[in-house]
Structures are given as C-alpha cells and as structure tokens.
Amino acid sequence: MVEEKLLLDFALSVGEVMTKNGAETQRVENTIEIILSKSRYNLMPETFVTPTGIFASINGPLHGTITKVKRVDRRTINLEKVSAANDLSRRFVAGEVTLRKAFEELSEIETRPTYKTITMVITHMIIVFSFTLLFSGTLNDALISSTAGMVLGLRMKIFKKIRLASFVRGLAASMMATATILLWYHFGLTDNYEIIIVGALMPLVPGFAITNAAKDVMYGDFISGSARMLDAILTAVFIAAGVGIMLTGYNYLMGGAVL
Amino acid sequence: MTQPYYIQFVLAFLASLGFAVVFNCPKKACFTSGIGGGFAWVIYVYIYLKTMNEVLGIFVASLFAAAFSRFFSYRHMEPSTVFLLPGVIPLVPGSTMYHTMKGILDSNIFETFMEATKALKVAGVIAIAIMIVFVLPYSYFAIGKQKKPRF
C-alpha cells in the first residue's frame, strides 16, 4: 500500500515538472499513466491534466481509491527539463532505476540550472538582429535593434526576482524594447523604427502558446487547448499594447507630429 | 525578404537557434532545430515570392516544420516540441500584430481590420498545419535508424 502511494507521488511529481516547463497535456497524461502501470496490481489509473493543475486517482485492491491533486503555478518554458523528465519516466518503467533513485533524479532535474544571463543576452541580441535583417531592415537597423534585444535579455534576470503575471511581463518587456528603439530614433540614428520594433518584438510573440494550443486541441484536450489559446491572444494583445503605449507617449511628448 | 536565399537561410537558422537556446532545448537538439527553422523560412519566402500568397507560404512552411519535428523526434528520442517550436516561431505573425496595433492607434479601421484578419488567418493556418501532420500515425515518420538514447 505504501508503495502504491509513493508511486502516485512520483507520477504526480513527474507530471508537475513536465507541466510546469511546458509539455503538452497529452504527453503528461500518458507519462503519469505509464508510471502508474508499473505497479504489481492493476491500479486502473485515471488522470486529468490541465495547464494549471493535475489530478490523478488510482484504485488498488488493498486500499480504496486514492486521489491526488497538484496545483501548478509559475509556468516557464524549459524543454530540456521536459525531455529529461520524459526520459526518466521511460527508464523507470523499463526498470533501470529504482523508485528511490528516480525521486533523487527528479529533484536534480527540477533544480537544474538554466543558461547564464550573459548567454541569454547574447542570444536575444542574435535573434533580434537576424529578424530585423529578415524583415528587410538595413545593417544599421539590425545593430540598433540588437540593443533592444540586449534589454530583452536582461529582463529575464530582472523578472526572475519579481513575481508578475505573464501578461504584465510581456507588457513591460515590449515597453522597454520600444523605449530603447525610440531613444535611438530620437537622436536621429535611424528612420524606419517600424521594422526595428517588429524585429525586436519577435522574442515576445506567443509562438509557444499557439503551437501547444494546436496540439492540445488536436488530441482532444479542449480545456488545456482553450486555456493556451486565451494565453496566446492575451499575450499578443498586451505586447501590442505595450508598443502602443510607448509610441503614443512619445508622440504626445514630442507635440504630436513626429510619428 | 530581398536578400539571396542562402543569406536568409543563415539568418533564419541563427534566429531559430537563438529560440532553441531561449526555450532551453536539450543542447544536442539545438543545432538540428535551427536547421529546421532555416529551411521552413526559406520555403515560406520561396512560395510567397512565387505565388504572392503569404498564407499559402506559411501553411506549407508549417507543414514542413511539423513533419521535420516529428521525424527528428523519432531519431533523437526527444519530445517533438523541441524541434517544432524553433521552426515555427519565425512564421508567427509578429509584424501583422504590430500593424494591427498601429491601425488602432491611427484610428484607421480599414488597416486594423485587414491586419487583424491576416494575423488570425496566419495563426490559424499554423495551427491547422500542425494538426494535419500530428494526426498522421507515428510510424510514417519512423524512417531510418534511431540514434541511441543518451544512457
């Protein structure tokens, strides 16, 4: 009986790590059910996963029904952790790791460090630089937009400490990027700020939410799918609002005839 | 979109590689997903310039990115999102979003409506392309031999 409870604990913890770091609903449900099928008994596992919470119940012969609920908050995107947790569950089911070892490994996965801030800053600069060139900006535009990318890379460090809703983060980030670009524009270093802003917005667009929403809806997980779709729409609206606020503010300060 | 294709490929590759790093993809998969993103972008630009139909280009490029991700998720034994996400992100309608907002700011109803419709169309087409590829059975993509898992 103890063993079954531990197994349920483990399955839910794996599910939590995967959901938290951006796995699709169907993958999490499958993983939990496969882990629970590892028991000696037929536990008849049932799971229900949404992006904000995980429910799982088992029905063993020695005890009644056990149901556990786990609330998931602070979602980020870290596909390496998803992949590692997935791998761990596979090896656990194949019998290569014991339950105790698997728990240890899971907590190692959970606390695995992400990239350093400097790597993130350089990556954002490269992303924004390439997109500005792809949207037919000049080299000058690309260099200017990569300073906005620098700001976007630094924001990840700042937002790690402050707890904000993800939409407010998007709003703040797009305002910061637009402000940087408008500063250059103000000093006359560039003329076509539009292309630069569009390039600098690319790291913020809700591509992840769109892809995952599509997958979830396709697998029939309508609750997760519509939740993610709402996330995508709201993120897009807030990012656009951030740019709009900054542009209007600049226009207002400069007397209304600049943009 | 005016540069030669190989330059665009390199730029899109860099951008997708950057996204792979931002989303913390497993280190071994980053390079492959960057390549996928580069090809998806080149396909999009090629079809767009041939037919002047942006939505069709996005559709075919997303189909390619989704098929690519499923094939390599089989080969590398990684979740397919790892390869799908960096490939699809360059196609997401970032500039239409901006122009929608610009139209709202200028009280230009025509531009707002046109760009908003385009953004919805593009996002919907990406979703549909992903669904079409992911509905196919897994065995269609199980071609060639699988790389050994890391352990």
DSSP string, A196-210: HHHHHHGGGS-HHHH
Are residues A170 and A80 located together in one domain of the fold? no
Does the residue A225 lie in any domain? yes
Confidence (pLDDT) at A14: 93
ipTM for the assembly: 0.90
Confidence (pLDDT) at A85: 93
B 50-89 residues with CB < 8 A to A = 77-79, 81-82, 84-85, 88-89
Interchain contact B23–A (C-beta under 8 A): yes
The secondary element (H helix, E strand) that includes residue B125 is: helix B109-135
Rounded to 10 degrees, the C-alpha dihedral A22/A26/A32/A35 comes to -110
For the record, the structure tokens of A180 come out as 């940087």
Q: How many CB pairs under 8 A join A and B?
A: 158
| Cβ distance of B97 and A239 shorter than 8 Å | yes
Locus of tokens 């800053």:
A121
Residues composing chain A? 259
Are residues A154 and A174 located together in one domain of the fold? yes
Confidence (pLDDT) at B45: 93
Interchain contact B11–A (C-beta under 8 A): yes
Residues of chain A found within 8 Å of residue B92, distances taken between Cβ atoms: 202, 205-207, 210
Query: ∠ CA B134-B137-B142 to the nearest 5 degrees?
Result: 100
pLDDT digits (tens, 9 = 90+) for B40-79: 999 999 999 999 999 999 999 999 999 999 999 888 888 8
> Measuring CA to CA, how many Å separate B148 from each of A84, A90, B83, B84, B151?
15, 14, 18, 21, 8
Confidence (pLDDT) at A163: 77
Sorting pLDDT into bands at 50, 70 and 90, what band is B151? Answer: very low
Which residue, A86, A110, A134, sits at the end of a domain? A110
For the record, the structure tokens of B128 come out as 């549909």
CA of A131 vs chain B CAs: smallest distance (Å) = 7
Confidence (pLDDT) at A2: 65
| Cβ distance of A207 and B92 shorter than 8 Å | yes
Alpha helical stretches, state H, chain A: 2-20, 25-36, 79-93, 99-110, 117-134, 139-161, 166-186, 193-201, 207-218, 222-253
Total domains present in chain A = 2
Are residues A139 and A92 located together in one domain of the fold? no
Are residues A158 and A242 located together in one domain of the fold? yes
Residues of chain A found within 8 Å of residue B15, distances taken between Cβ atoms: 126-127, 130-131, 134, 202
Which residue, A110, A142, A169, sits at the end of a domain? A110
Residues of chain A with pLDDT under 70: 1-2, 256-259
Does the residue A224 lie in any domain? yes
Confidence (pLDDT) at A70: 92
Sorting pLDDT into bands at 50, 70 and 90, what band is B34? Answer: very high
Are residues A102 and A122 located together in one domain of the fold? no
pLDDT digits (tens, 9 = 90+) for B118-136: 999 999 999 999 999 988 8
List of residues 6+ apart from B43 with CB closer than 8 A = B57, B60, B61, B64
Confidence (pLDDT) at A257: 54
Which residue, A110, A131, A159, sits at the end of a domain? A110
Question: For chain B, first and last CA: distance in Å?
Answer: 43
Asked if A48 and A223 touch (Cβ cutoff 8 Å), the reply is no
Are residues A205 and A231 located together in one domain of the fold? yes
Confidence (pLDDT) at B57: 94
Does the residue A259 lie in any domain? no
Confidence (pLDDT) at B150: 46
* Structural domain range at position A145: 117-253
Confidence (pLDDT) at B3: 82
DSSP secondary structure string for all residues of A98-124: -HHHHHHHHHHHHT-----HHHHHHHH
Which class for A107: exposed (0-12), middle (13-18), buried (19 or more C-beta within 10 A)?
Answer: exposed
Locus of tokens 């350089």:
A122
